[in-house]
Structure 1
Amino acid sequence: MKKLVNNNLKTRKDMEIYCDNAATTALDPEVLNAMIPYLTNQYGNASSNHIFGRKAKEAVEESRLTVAKLFNVSPNDIFFTSGATEANNLAIAGAVRTFEVQHAITSRIEHKAVLQTLGQFSQEGELEVSFVQLDTKGNIDFEHLENLLKYNPQTLVSLMHVNNEIGNINDIRQIGYLVKKYDGLFHTDTTQSIGKYKFDISLLNVDYLVGSAHKFHGPKGVGFIYIDKYKRVKPHTYGGAQERGTRGGTENVAGIVGLAKALEVAYRGLEEYRNHIAYLKSYLIEQLKNSPIPDISFNGASESETASSYNIVNVAFPHLRKGGPLLDKLDKLDIAVSGGSACSNLTSAGSHVLKALQQNLDKDNIRFSFSKFNTPYEIKVIIDTIRAIYEEDRLPKNVTPLATPLLATA
């Protein structure tokens, strides 16, 4: 079976493929249906003291109860935000100001919402920041982490569960154990794992845990933070008593309803979705390994079935000799993937994660991230397209590519 290299490659418009689900996911139809009443006739302000306001308030509190039950915590510990970035800022800034934290521990591959927030406090002289050592794959050195904690008691530790670029999984239960052993505060960004893994927060030594609805087929612009009842923080947004005084501002009622419904749907079908998505990842990896494209490797631990999340794989491809980056070629062929996090795409600095690991900086690095809506056929199209791009790239300039349809066999 031989796949073509052809002129059709430049103009293929037969289908659009979305494999950038670590950036955002499609809204689940069931979630949209739950939201519609609060986008139409149930439009009351949840802080208003009349029937419209009370109905909105009831929807918010029912959603809070749903989220709390799924995490096995009290509803009083769940606070809604505009997303994970705000929630991460609230946790870090709140902990520093409320508990007069003077030292923080993080890693150089955290999300920018964590690194830049800690960095700002450091620049202002309010906080000393230490970075835990990582191996070449991006895995935490737990011995170094414990040493940092031992010599810096009552510190704030901010380490994510799943890395958004390379998919590495941190053992947050072990991290939480060490943090409590040395009387610290533990904040974890679980944005990439909420909806993909079940969390019983009561079993974790975590003080602040963060998520965002649009990463698990909910709406954009709404997230949450779990705050341990003994580690409440000062607000960083003022102007109202919403969210029990922790986060002022009119509640995004439809978004909050959508978040709760999306989490409910995710938990309901978690095993089925996980098996499906894990198959897509393994299929992609297997096909790339067996492809004629030379010198393919995998960034971080993303190739591993156990050390990385089942929905993310970060691949290092050789540079194309002509025609620009592989990412741009795929985009022109209506295949949506990423060179890193969505936030990093707003700058020309590239992936801070790969730079921190000094991994494959001289290659075309592509993150593929899958959802329950992706199909094996889409993965096949992606593989065939990438093979075709590299075959065409290696043709001498005076050789005309074949005119065979892209997915035809010979």
Structure 2
Amino acid sequence: MKFSFFHLMPYPYLPDDFDEKYSSSSLTYPNANFDPKLGIALYHRYLDELEYADKLGFDGIAVNEHHQSAYGLMPSPNIMAAALARRTENARIMVLGNAIGIRGNPLRVAEEIAMLDLISNGRVDSGFVRGIGWEYFGHSINPTKSRARFNEAHDLIIKAWTAEEMFSWVSPNYEYRYVNIWPRPVQQPHPPIYIPGAGSTETMRFCALHRYTFMSVYAPTRVVRIWFDGYRRAAAELGYVPDPEKIALSIPVYVADTDARAHAEARPAVEFLFRKALKTPMEMVNPPGYVSPGSLRGMLATERKPFGELSYEELVADGYAVVGSPATVAARLRSMYDDLGGYGQLIGLFAIGPSTHEQVMHSAELFAAEVMPVLRPLGVADAA
């Protein structure tokens, strides 16, 4: 099994009256609440944590893209990846990912990832995401065009990476008379690609068709199992069994010396993530037309409470987050491995909300030293 240290780079300094005064931490949450002086310290702290994960032996260090939000301070994850490329040595630099559906110029993504691939000596993994509903509103893009824009941007980027001669590109959403990127990526035919999924059957089939890594997002274990089975079923329809490494469980993880200490420290962090950072009206997350009718039916069939209505105990018990001592966390993830029918990558969110720098570093240290060795053989054994 492979392990990655994933970072959202959140802005944890929300006002005391946030719950009563604001309906969301994104799009409509006034940027007057952002303090640039605190932001300076946060960026440097967060980069330190990602660099330390490389030293601890994590297989990957991961960043992602979000806009107009206290949930994540990375409107440009490629900038963060560039900062990491020269200051890390071994870990994969995982951009999970670029929101190509909201890009007016997706060719720029192809160019920047190619640059990063060269600077990092071929250590870049390129994730592609559609973006969240509010990000389409924030970029004045009709969310009903999300899937078409994503698919066209994806096809353009792949061709730009792999074509060895200039070509033209004309599609309903993008038009380029000259495509001839310099530089080209060092990884051939292109960097590995990850696609996060949250229940869309189109995403499962898309990943299976292209043999990309399918990555879960916040959901209880029983729902993630449905997603993973959907991806495996789509692969079976194409005549193959996906490598376990192509199935990635993304989940918040908090490790401390004892179970009692872990829960005491993780409770405010996990509650912040699900009740404040992820606080967004449903119409801003999934606006009409953003998902197909078939995918919407599938999502509605997996009935679950809104994040804000889940207690801390439910979040832990249902598998939204994993908390405990090293032994407890290892056992829980091992149990989830069986419950999910196997997975080959664990993409852990270790820096959760208001957790302190010291807590994040210690949690990562314990995980690397005492959890990773226990779980490491799982993916290898299944892949053999």
Specify the TM-score bucket, using the shorter chain as the normaliser: under 0.3
**Which one has more relative contact order, counting CA pairs under 8 Å at least 6 apart?**
1
TM-score normalized with structure 2 length? 0.27
Larger Rg: 1
More helix by share: 2
